[in-house]
Structure 1
Amino acid sequence: MDISDSVKYVGVDDNSIDLFEGQFEVPLGMSYNSYVVIDEKTAVMDSVDANFGEEWLSKVESALGGRKADYLVVQHMEMDHSSNVLAFAEKYPDAKIVASKVAFTMMKNMFGTDFPGRQIVAAEGSELKLGKKTLAFIAAPNVHWPEVVMTAIKEDGILFSADAFGKFGAYGAEEPEGWSCEARRYYFGIVGKFGANVQSVMEKIKPLGIGTICPLHGPVLTGNDAVEAVRLYGIWSSYEAESDGVAVFYTSVYGHTKKAAESLAEKLRARGCPKVALNDLAREDPFECVEDAFRYGKLVLASTTYNGGVFPAMREFIERLCERGFRNRTIAFVENGSWAPAAARTMASLLEGCKDITIIGEKATIKISPTAETDSMLDAIADAMTK
């Protein structure tokens, strides 16, 4: 498949995988993208997962059309992209390996060799001339591994973005909710902690006039799709709210806290809240919940008191948020406790490490089951969240 007159797609799809990186559900599969740049010299951009080596090498050979491979650019050493570097190096013994200095150290650890005599170190601002096309390298440390480089074809405005701008799903998978839904879950699940690093790279690519983005997962982005992806990455990496609304997250043992959460959701809607996202933390995809928490600027956390603290699913949820640099949000608490409610205090304590969190004074406390007093407390929260 041709991306441009000089770039061909040679990636593979994994349609049998159930969990990406052992934790993210991927019902639409996963793509491992790779590209070949054809010019006076040829460059292959990244390899693929270990299970698809033969398929990938066959595609590379076909794209080269009988020509030799001059370079393999290794932008990212995570194993779903680097597992076939050694196989490539053996098949094309004259090809140079292009990567960051840190990546070569990782290769030594992974393959037992860092390809001495074949190394070209890609550093910030370095370039590689292929003929009419020039590969310009952009250091992108901790987006989301420390060795990452991105690569631009200067003459064409094409960016090979490593894991950035990727999404869950096979390359040709139908996207019923568009690119942003699974890209958002991917971003906050995998890259979310590194917002400052993403912001730094975004500044570097601004002057390059990028019109096509070729990530290591998901579709190639062009035109308005590329513009929209850059816009969303600007929002996500700055930890700003993307959508106006309130996300309500609850855990419930016997249904009383769930009933209160559902009642609060109705009160919010009745007050004109443009979107209310209601999430059962015990039953829904945890990373869909993380996605919603970062998407909206206002959250309500509703939990049963459990072992003198908070219900495990709520604790794990808050810990996931904190691990990803959660910040700049307004939060209200709903707690339930049969004799000594402590969930709100525990949730506040778990959030102490997050920056710019505003906890509103209104709190709803339930003693086993909701009452008229509880209803008044929920009204106060709904008022505060929608004023």
Structure 2
Amino acid sequence: MNDMKISDSVKFVGVNDHKIDLFEGQFSVPEGMSYNSYLILDEKIAVMDSVDRNFGEEWLKNIENVLSGKKPDFLVVQHMEMDHSANIAAFMKKYPDSKIVSSKMAFNLMKNMFGTDFSERQIVISEGSKVELGKHVLNFIAAPNVHWPEVMFTYESTEKILFSADGFGKFGALDVPSANDWTDEARRYYFGIVGKFGANVQAVLKKAANLEIQKICPLHGPVLDSNLEKYIQYYDTWSKYEAETDGIFIAYTSVYGNTKQAAEKLAEILKEKGCKNVLIKDLARNDIFECVADAFRYKKLVLASTTYNTEVFPKMREFIAHLVERNFQNRTVGFIENCSWAPLAAKTMAKMFEPLKEIKILEEKVTIKIAVNEEVEKQLENFAEKLI
């Protein structure tokens, strides 16, 4: 059990997962994951959310240790995704007098997923509902599509704690050295999982702006209890699809090293021309969702790819598809293509961006005929000028 201190009345009863290799079956998590759950001690006792199915016994033991013989009155279910809901039935069996507090949609999901919605033990809440525990009061805020439609946030108005479901979460367990290094893994988490739903995040941030918040308790990652303006600003920037960094991200794929050489040469030219923030990554050898986060982080994006099967290299296609799926916007995008005989990569990439709004595609492009030569370097010089 993590010994994270929240307050005298609010206790952490979550777990760390170091067995997992891929979160949600696709996101690499070399430092594991945390599944957070919290317990509020008062005249009535509330447990905030369950944990992943593999940790039910540990979670229930954590709750038992904090309760010291007492019984919980409520299980608050903010989010029905399985890493937070899988042990609802085990909790209800262990504590038969407890009631479940959740939204109507969550109870519908519960019945579909687990075969029961505990209809005789429901407290159905919605936007503006309250549950009084004694000194502590739970105020419920609808947060649909952040990132599932049934999601509720909970604001505890006495200690001014926002329980934010998956919002403000990050990859990584809580017992690793980098547990409190929030930004990079929170960014990768946000754009990987929540990024499509920027408008929904904006809506709930506007609601939260009216609250005095002293701590944010997410369902993944550390409790945020200082510099909250920083974390909220990140979420505001990310959900508006604004760039964090006034710079250029170059993402490339390369079969025999020639496209890589061109990408690296472009980075060199850009730096010589005074562009300080230039990041370059190989899409085949770097974490694809880290690259997705980088694309959203930087103001301008350059994609360099070989023509492949009359289209574009598979890793590049996958990368662009992830951007399109997440409503990539408000960016300038330029293309470098390589070919042996028929250059089609730039055309293919540009077509993939057509569904997106507020994307400026540079008219200039760089076309390489296998090898980087003097003519290609002239193209790169001109391309860099236009890009800057």
Q: TM-score, normalised by structure 1?
A: 0.98
Match of 2:41 in 1: 38
Partner of 1:326: 328
Amino acid at match of 1:245: G
1:154-303 correspondence runs (5 A): 154-175=157-178, 178-224=181-227, 226-303=228-305
* Structure 1: 4+ residue segments shifted above 4 A: none
**What CA distance in whole angstroms lies between the structure 1 residues aligned with 2:199 and 2:73?**
35
Q: Are 2:29 and 1:14 aligned?
A: no
Q: Secondary structure of the equivalent of 1:223?
A: coil
Higher mean displacement: 317-326 or 372-381:
372-381
The DSSP-based 3-state class of the residue aligned with 1:189 is helix
1:133 matched to 2:136? The reply is yes
- 1:85 lines up with 2:72 in the alignment: no
Partner of 1:87, secondary structure, is: helix
SS at match of 2:184: helix
Q: Residue 376 of structure 2 aligns to which amino acid in structure 1?
A: T
The answer as to 2:82 corresponding to 1:60 is no
DSSP 3-state at the match of 2:66: helix
Give the drift of 1:360.
1.3
Amino acid at match of 1:151: T
User: How far has the Cα of 1:385 moved from its partner?
Assistant: 2.3
In the other structure, the counterpart of 1:149 is 152
What corresponds to 1:95 in structure 2?
98
One of 315, 318, 324 as aligned partner of 1:316:
318
Alpha-carbon distance change, 122 to 130 in structure 1, aligned in 2, over 3 angstroms? same
Residue 341, structure 1, aligned to residue 343, structure 2: yes
1:349-368 map, 5 Å: 349-368=351-370
8 Å CA contact 2:172–2:179 kept in 1: the answer is: no
- Residue type at the aligned position of 2:177: E
| Aligned counterparts of 2:182 and 2:387: Cα–Cα separation in 1 | 29
1:178 to partner: Cα distance: 2.3
| Cα distance in 1, alignment partners of residues 49 and 274 from structure 2 | 49
Alignment CA distance shift 1:385-1:177 (3 Å): farther
CA distance in 1, matches of 2:62, 2:212: 30
Q: 1:227 offset after TM fit, Å?
A: 2.0
Contact residue 47 and residue 85 of structure 1 kept, 8 A:
yes
Give SS of 2:349's match. Answer: helix
The C-alpha deviation readout for 1:65-109, integer Å capped at 9, x for no partner, is 211110000001100010000000011111110011110001111
From the superposition, tell whether residues 176 and 86 of structure 1 become closer, same or farther in structure 2 (CA, over 3 Å).
closer
Give the Cα separation in 1 of the matches to 2:154 and 2:89: 21
2:111 matched to which residue of 1?
A: 108
Q: Which amino acid aligns with 1:168?
A: F
Letter in 2 for 1:3: I
Measure the CA separation in 2 of the matches of 1:106 and 1:234.
Answer: 29
What letter corresponds to residue 230 of structure 1 in structure 2? I
Deviation of 1:322 (Å): 0.5
Deviations 1:229-284 (A, max 9, x none): 11100000000001121000111111111110010011111112121111111111
1:222 match: secondary structure: coil
Question: What's the CA shift for 1:176?
Answer: 8.3
Q: Distance in 1 between matches of 2:373 and 2:349?
A: 23
Query: 1:274-303: CA deviations, max 9, x gaps?
Result: 211111111111011101000001010011
Distance 1:121 1:355 in 2: 39
* Displacement of 1:177: 8.9
Length, aligned pairs only: 385
What runs of 5+ residues in structure 2 fail to find an aligned partner?
A: none
Whether the 8 Å CA contact 1:122–1:149 is kept in 2: the answer is no
CA RMSD, 1 decimal: 1.1
* Secondary structure at the counterpart of residue 365 of structure 1: strand
SS at match of 1:221: coil
Task: Name the amino acid aligned to 2:341.
Answer: W
Offset at residue 213 of structure 1 (A): 0.3
TM-score under structure 2 length normalisation: 0.98
The percent of aligned pairs where both chains have the same amino acid is 63
In the other structure, the counterpart of 2:307 is: 305
1:84 counterpart letter in structure 2: N
Q: Is the 8 A contact 1:301 1:334 kept in 2?
A: yes
Distance in 2, Cα, partners of 1:15 & 1:216: 16
Q: Which amino acid aligns with 2:213?
A: I
